[in-house]
Structure 1
């Protein structure tokens, strides 16, 4: 996940390794989610939702790792596009189990449509203008994340306190990490941002794995 490729060699190594670890954990996470769903004889919607979420995690960490690990300029442009598109995928993917498994209400379905529509628009914008509208993209990422407040009352009813706490903690960690995302003068700022992404993603994974159950 990068807004620039102006990092030194050591920084890029740290950037690639940090999300390379995330890629491995994402694959393990998807397997765990699917094994649990199958063991519990979950319905098709639950299995699909877990697959979408796990796939979005893998896509995010794969895109980021490749972007930072591959130095070839010609490849960078396409990898940067993949990297930024994957951010939208992870945001929308993270919503999916909560909205379609835990809630399954008309409001949740409506929010699901809005979030995935915004993700699709964002992806198309990134494909067309990957080097432009950086601040707008950042605002869009944050706005999409905090639109979850629309269903906070329903989540409070259907999620246990532990799940709601992990969900909120993940959102706060992602948001605080943005400080380092934009702080270009701080050494290894992007690797620090990656650490926040890993922590936020871990919180959301635990919330989904431990607390998201069909109603």
Structure 2
């Protein structure tokens, strides 16, 4: 019996249900991300806005699509490769979410500085995830959190431009992502990874409302 056949004999009903929930949750989010991006285009009036919204929208779509594909093919030989892409896309989403705030809200040397810093970290993180996944695995969650909460360095000028309501949506997103890492770090427990997916989708929705309603 081949190793693949041996692995399949150990697949339980829980395994199938869990992966179906994981794939469905982010599959729905991927579809909603496409619609959300199109909605942003309706209120873009400059080339810079189109650029920022395109990067942001693509980051959301890629993250949720990569996650969906990974969980759809979880029981196949390409699982590990898809998982690397899934995890690498988290860096893409974080930097992508920063983009409209840096370019359209701050829109200054400070905004471009944070934009460059976030994307530099993201690209290095993606490279490490692809080339040295075992090395970065130990601290990637902390790196995700550090990238996300770097916003505290510019929280005051951002709040001056998007108001306290916009800031509330932004912080709600950050806190939801952070709270979700509890389940992500304990995903060996039953359905904890699915719960993590729900936190990611909810946090992304909060962040989107900050962008859509206040930029």
Length-normalised TM-score, structure 1: 0.90
* Alignment partner of 2:159 out of 156, 160, 164: 156
Contact 2:70 2:82 survives alignment (8 Å): yes
Higher relative contact order (CA 8 A, sep 6+): 1
Gaps spanning 5+ residues in structure 1: where? 1-6
For 2:41, the equivalent position in structure 1 comes to 34
The alignment covers a number of residue pairs equal to 202
List per-residue Cα deviations over 1:133-161 (Å, max 9, x = no partner): 32311110000000001101111111121
1:180 aligns to 2:183 (yes or no): yes
**SS at structure 1 position matched to 2:138:** helix
Contact 2:159 2:166 survives alignment (8 Å): no
1:22 aligns to 2:29 (yes or no): yes
For 1:134-149, what aligned pairs fall within 5 Å after superposition? 134-149=137-152
**SS at structure 1 position matched to 2:190:** coil
Task: Give RMSD over aligned pairs.
Answer: 1.3
**SS at structure 1 position matched to 2:124:** helix
> After TM superposition, which residue ranges in structure 1, 4 or more long, deviate above 3 angstroms?
none
1:88 aligns to 2:95 (yes or no): no
Q: CA deviation at 1:55?
A: 0.5
- Greater gyration radius: 2
Length-normalised TM-score, structure 2: 0.90
* Alignment partner of 1:119 out of 98, 118, 122: 122
1:170 aligns to 2:173 (yes or no): yes
